[in-house]
Chains A and B, each alone.
Chain A
Amino acid sequence: MADIRLEVPAENSVLEVLYDGSELHQQPPSMSEHLTQLARKIDFATDGEEIKEEKKEEEEEEEKQPFQQPHWPLEEVRNKIRQALTEVSVLHDLLAVVKPKPPQYMVLDPVQADPPEPKAYIQFLSLKKSLQAAGTILLNGAERLRTSQAEMGRPGRVVGQDFHIELLRLRQNWRLKKVGSTILGDLSYRSAGSMYRHSGIFEVSKADDGPGGPGILSIGSGGASPVAPQLGPRAIQSSLRVTVPTELTGSAYIFVCIKKDEEDICSAQLTSSDFVSGETHWQQKLEKAQNVLFCKELFSQLAREAVKLTPSIPHLVVGNQITATIFPGIHLLVGLCHSDGKNGQKGGSGVLVPGNSGTGGVVVGGNNHGSTTNMAPTSVMAGASMAGAPGVGLGGLGPSKYKHEHDLEHSLHQLLHRVYHHSFQHPLPHPVYAYMGMSKRRRAAGPEGMDKTQLVNMMKEQTLLEQIIRQVQHNFLRLRTMYVIDQLAAEFKDPLIVSHWNAFNSPTRSCVKINIATQGYDSVLRTKLVIHISERSLKCICRDGKIMTMSFEPQELRNLILCQISQHNMAALQCLARYTGWTVLSSEQNVGTGAIEPLGNASTVMLASPSGNKVIGVHSGPHQRVSVMVSSSPRPDFYPSTVVSGQRWENLGASWQEVRHDRMEGRNFLNKMELLMAALTA
């Protein structure tokens, strides 16, 4: 049998468990606490008898233990009774005050009874009215919203299409961002690789129906841009307005021209004929502003380089113009032409009078290395004109005097654009873990075994100004060569000079093929030469392999061609002799006898007729043309003498007689020679 223990579960809840495992129980409520709890449960509103009984008990308890608790268990009861007492006594006092019949201090007035409740119908009606009012307000609001929305979508309105659609189109083409509460955009080329400081920020805002609204005006004559769609002559105003920074308003271009040495080196008034009104479409405005920024950057880059470089003749940077010397006596003028378009065609910022431009003028270096006499005078003149020559009306030369070279301007744009391109484009590294941006040549420097100077030369890059000067030099040289050749071709009819320019050329090299042939005798001989034109020199390659390098002086080319002409004549004559059966007795390309030729060398040919009795001798030089002599074989004036006795010695040639070939019939020299040969043979 097991013991079963009965244990009463702990009645008191556990307050705390000490560290040694013993438990602190909540003490059961003492007698007075228990009494307090019961007292609170009493509801005094119901029965008063119980109160009295309990009150007695409490008083007994209270006397027993007066100091155990600070509050009586019946405190609340007592308070409530006391309050009731207070109120009743107040009421009693009030009644006492009011009681004296003639009112002394206070009078009681009766309160009117509430009126009987009217029908709720009025309220109902009023409610309906209020509802109707509220409903109308809502409907009005809805109408307003709808109309404002409908107005946005209506085409043909003056303000044009929706602001948001326009904004979308703007963002399609331009870079936009939102700063604070304004929409700003960026039209600089920084995202394309430029390093220019200008920030190029423009602001976009909603266009109100401003004063220019109803007046339909034509878009500025800048022409439609290739990017935006074509806008008709009836201008549709857009709901966007674009504010470009003030220094980029209007339009600009770079003015490039080549001019020969003149007295005034730096004065020209550049005006632009581009008109930008305030009401042009935002696309065109932005494009023009971007163009202005590009031109400014280009010009500042060129100016910086012009100041930095120190060639033998210093470049001149005056205000908005750069003057560089290409060849002695020939100058390149680059100017920035910016018109603001505010007052119509405002003159561009290029008005300079040499005497007054003391502030803006920068004469670089003053390094007059002055190696040739040509250079010194120009720089001295520059100095003098800067120093303070009286500003004699030299500022009024219009652009018509200076021809603007569009292709050179285009080259400048291309060069700067290439700079942008290269700043972003790097050649990929080969192999993949090599450095970025190493060009192919540099990669091959190792295997090729380049030395330090070669490497340094490879890393040196030409500045923009140098590049454009090279291009301009080549351009000028090419034109001059053309001119020289054409002049010679017009001068000489005897052998004809035919020149064919090569269609493939680069900005710094061109090539021309020259054929020298006699008219009618093309099949006999053509003398061919190729002239390669680079920046400052010409290289001529003849058919027989001779290579001649000439400088940029036109006289040298002329001399060369004259020499070639004379040699052509001789060579052609030899070929002709072969056709006609005459034998070439001797031919000398560069004779060492006779008068000294001022240029080149004379050449001679001696031909013998088929029968052998006539000999023609031709002497030709580049300077003094051709002289033809004939001698016939049996001497008519041979008389045997004591020294020379045999008759056979009459067969030695007779004295030479000159043929006046300019009086002969015949189209050209070869024709005349042919006739001569025919005449002598017969």
Chain B
Amino acid sequence: MAQQAKQPQSREALLKSYNKRLKDDVKSILDNFMEIVKLGLVEDESQVSRMTQVEEIHFQMQVRSANMVRAAESLMKLVADVKQYLILNDFPSVNEAITQNSQIFKVKSQEADQKLMTLRDDMASDLYELEEEFYSSVYKEK
């Protein structure tokens, strides 16, 4: 019972985590992009010298764009996770898959049995005639 109570909790937690990841990643991409664009403003030097400032801006831009790429890849992973989760846990489709499969298998096995029955009937009639032929003749091997 504790596990059942835990299960929906962990499921809720999982889905919440997906949502959170989505929001975080999208926010990260957007923010980083905004920051990069903001850094592109030409402004007066503040406290450090020119070269340092330049280097710092360069580095910051690199880091921010790398951040964006990371966030995008994390989004891809999220999509893959969602796909997997969807495949495994989507109850209506699992249900439907099971019923569909059962139906198909049942139909197929019935068909196979049907064919066997017709075969059996044919063979039975042939057998009757063959038996007549065989047993009515005097030439039989022991």
Contacts and interface: CB of A to CB of B under 8 A. Distances in A.
Given A126-B58, A127-B42, A490 B127 contact: no
Given A137-B66, A491-B142, A496-B138, A503 B58 contact: no
Interface in A122-144: 122-124, 126-127, 129-131, 133-135, 137-138, 140-142
A497 B132 CA distance: 10
A177 interface: yes
Interface size class of B (residues with CB under 8 A): 35 or more
A474 B96 CA distance: 43
Nearest to B56: A130
A172 B127 contact: no
Given A130-B61, A131-B40, A172 B97 contact: yes
Contact of A490 (B54, B65, B141): B141
Nearest to A171: B87
Interface string B55-68: 00110011011101
Contacts of A172: 97, 101
A168 B87 contact: yes
B87 A498 contact: no
A329 B61 CA distance: 92
Contacts of B115: none
A197 interface: no
Interface in A488-541: 489-491, 493, 496-501, 503, 519
Contacts of A173: 101
B120 A133 contact: no
B71 to A, nearest CB: 10
The listed residue with most B CB atoms (<10 A of its CB), out of A126, A135, A164, A490, is A126
A167 B87 contact: yes
B140 interface: yes
A498 B61 contact: no
A123 B135 contact: no
A490 B58 contact: no
A499 B61 contact: no
A120 interface: yes
Q: Is the interface of A mostly helix, strand, loop or mixed?
A: helix
Nearest to A129: B58
Interface in B87-115: 87-89, 94, 97, 101, 105, 108
Interface string B12-54: 0000000000000000000000001001101010000010011
Given A118-B50, A127-B40, A167-B84, A490 B142 contact: yes
Nearest to A128: B40
Contacts of A500: 128, 131-132
B124 interface: yes
B129 to A, nearest CB: 10
B78 interface: no
A121 B85 CA distance: 53
B136 interface: yes
Interface string A358-383: 00000000000000000000000000
Contacts of A133: 58, 61-62, 65
A176 interface: yes
B76 interface: yes
Given A496-B136, A503-B120, 15 more contacts: A123-B42, A123-B54, A130-B54, A130-B62, A138-B68, A138-B69, A141-B69, A141-B73, A172-B101, A490-B142, A499-B135, A500-B128, A500-B132, A503-B123, A519-B138
Q: List the 3 closest A-B pairs by CB distance, nearest first.
A: A141-B69, A503-B124, A498-B135
Interface of A: 117-118, 120, 122-124, 126-127, 129-131, 133-135, 137-138, 140-142, 145, 164, 167-168, 171-173, 176-178, 183, 226-227, 487, 489-491, 493, 496-501, 503, 519
20 contacts: A117-B44, A126-B57, A126-B58, A127-B40, A130-B58, A131-B61, A134-B36, A134-B62, A141-B65, A167-B87, A171-B94, A176-B88, A178-B85, A178-B88, A487-B142, A489-B135, A493-B138, A498-B135, A500-B131, A503-B127
